[in-house]
Amino acid sequence: MITLSILIVLALICALVGVLMGLFSLIGLLASLLVGVLVGALAGHIANRFMGTQTSTGRNIVLGILGSFVGEFLFGLIGIHATGSISSFVISVLGACVCIWVDNRLFHDR
């Protein structure tokens, strides 16, 4: 009877730890998404200033996030890969500059 009680208590502890780890991973996921949006917004804002355009904050966020993917892809094609936070941010800003240039050519120069 004591063995069964100990097994039930251990099972409940494992279930509780599993729930808490799931909660922590959900919080970690939300935090990483928030950081990604903030870094994308900052990269878009810096690229916007660098390119000399005036766009909305929402467009800066979208172009900054898209720019990080574009920058990683373009620099990956020529064999340059980001190894740290700063180099990844620089590549994101340069990718956002490319996205802003394409955006200006497609939608603003008519």
Give which of 41, 88, 87 is closest to 64, Cα–Cα: 41
Domain ranges of the chain: 1-78, 81-109
Q: How far apart are the two ends of the chain, measured CA to CA in Å?
A: 82
Q: Report CA-CA distances (Å) from 105 to 47, 57, 101, 102.
A: 16, 20, 6, 5
Which tens digit of pLDDT belongs to each residue from 79-92? 887 777 788 888 88
> What's this model's pTM, rounded to 2 decimal places?
0.68
Mean pLDDT across 4-32: 72
Tokens representing 42?
């900052």
